[in-house]
Amino acid sequence: MAGTEASVGAARGRERAEAAEPAARPARLRRPSPSELAFPGCDRIPMTRAEYRRCERRPELWDAASRTAWMVREAPTWEHERPSQMLAQMAALIAAARGSPIKCYGAMGLVRRAEADAKRLVLHPDQTVYLHPSRVEQEFEDPLLVVGRSYPDVVLEVDHTTDVRPGKLALYESWGVPELWVEVPDRGARSRPASLVPGLTIHLREAGAYRISPVSRAFDGWRAEEIHEAMNEPVPSARTHAILERLGRRLGAREGTGPDDDSFLRSLRGESRAKGHAEGLAKGHAEGLAKGHAEGLAEGHAAGLAEGRAKMVRRMLLSRGIEVSARFPADVPGFAESSEDEAVTLALACDSEEDFRARIR
């Protein structure tokens, strides 16, 4: 019993020590040398600085000191590229619901700030995400993104034919990257390491080291299994869009922002309201002569607002490259009774006119 109590006390002491550590100055681990690490699924090839700059295929890692690159053995496939593309699309929807932009830089190479050029390492993730790009000073050394003074809120690595755990994970940890997502797509490749299991793993850096977490810290409350499911859907489902809207509104509530703070949505919604009001008054006046002024105004105003919402939805879908029929969405049953918020949510969530019709039903 005494031994158990001592172990519990020691664990609680470690938890208190970790909690007391300033988040802005995480402990740094010794950066491991690439020669100490393994990069499954990659070929190690000689590569000079000039060759690296000319290289059309991005390496997983380039080491200036040894003039060596670790190149993924197989050419990228859609299964590998889809998660990073989906993350960028989902971040844009969360940003719209929150009312402030989120910036994604894709597979842009990362280097450490103030690192000696001759000893420089360049890491290429699959996606980098800044939740508040206007609040941090992002540094660039074309074509590289510099970390050290500020960091991406989330870095994504996709293990389709590779495994970041024996190599890149330790480097991200020693560099101070606060949150790393490692996605293993559902659909595997023949050359995928047998040790990889489909799913998304969230690594949070605390007290200088990573620990696995079931939920994201940056995207507060977004669960690993929800992210993995969304990254592997052929098209985003209604459930995924509901989760994204909830995340965006939750983040916006903390900052006092919402969809009307997004300039694109604000413009469309403002135009819808103005047109609906003007058309409603005109229709109400004409119909009021025949049906009674007050009743006619009310019905005409409602019809005008519905027509304004319809024009807004058409513009939103066309701006997303989605073709719509001539009478859409005025001919969609139930659209006239929908609210403006419902119309905006459906216009952001659907991927076709048919999908919009199905969702509103």
Could you tell me if 109 and 250 lie in one domain? yes
Could you tell me if 282 and 152 lie in one domain? no
DSSP class of residue 180 equals E
- CATH number, position 66: 3.90.1570.10
113-127, 176-190, 226-240, 329-343: least confident range = 329-343
pLDDT of residue 341: 77
Give percent of the chain above pLDDT 90. Answer: 50
pLDDT of residue 124: 96
Whether 233 maps to a domain, the answer reads yes
Whether 12 maps to a domain, the answer reads no
Whether 85 maps to a domain, the answer reads yes
Does pLDDT of 214 surpass 60? yes
Does pLDDT of 90 surpass 60? yes
Mean per-residue pLDDT, 118-146: 90
Whether 7 maps to a domain, the answer reads no
Whether 98 maps to a domain, the answer reads yes
Could you tell me if 104 and 239 lie in one domain? yes
Residue at token pair 């229709």: 283
pLDDT of residue 317: 84
pLDDT of residue 223: 98
pLDDT of residue 13: 42
Does pLDDT of 48 surpass 60? yes
Structure tokens at 273: 């309201």
Does pLDDT of 181 surpass 70? yes
Could you tell me if 285 and 327 lie in one domain? yes
232 — alpha (psi -120 to 50), left (phi > 0) or beta? alpha
Strand ranges (E), the chain: 42-46, 61-63, 68-72, 103-104, 109-112, 121-123, 127-130, 139-141, 144-147, 154-158, 179-184, 199-206, 209-213
Could you tell me if 175 and 231 lie in one domain? yes
Could you tell me if 89 and 219 lie in one domain? yes
Q: Give how far the C-alpha of residue 10 lies from the chain's centroid of Cα atoms, to the nearest Å.
A: 38
Sequence-ordered alpha helix ranges (H) in 145-262: 168-175, 224-231, 238-255
Instruction: Count structural domains, the chain.
Output: 2
Mean per-residue pLDDT, 251-263: 87
Could you tell me if 62 and 141 lie in one domain? yes
Chain mean pLDDT for the chain = 83
Could you tell me if 66 and 211 lie in one domain? yes
231-245, 283-297, 325-339: range with highest mean pLDDT: 231-245
Does pLDDT of 300 surpass 70? no
Could you write out the DSSP letters of every residue in 2-54? HHHHHHHHHHHHHHHHHHHS-TTS---PPPPPGGG---TTEEEEE--HHHHHH
Whether 10 maps to a domain, the answer reads no
Whether 5 maps to a domain, the answer reads no
Could you tell me if 21 and 107 lie in one domain? yes
Mean per-residue pLDDT, 203-221: 96
Could you tell me if 305 and 235 lie in one domain? no
Residue 356's domain spans which residues?
Answer: 262-360
Whether 125 maps to a domain, the answer reads yes
Could you tell me if 322 and 224 lie in one domain? no
Mean per-residue pLDDT, 197-214: 96
* End-of-domain residue from the set 255, 274, 297: 255
36-45, 94-103, 127-136, 352-361: least confident range = 352-361
* End-of-domain residue from the set 255, 288, 317: 255
Could you tell me if 58 and 161 lie in one domain? yes
pLDDT of residue 348: 81
* End-of-domain residue from the set 221, 255, 289: 255
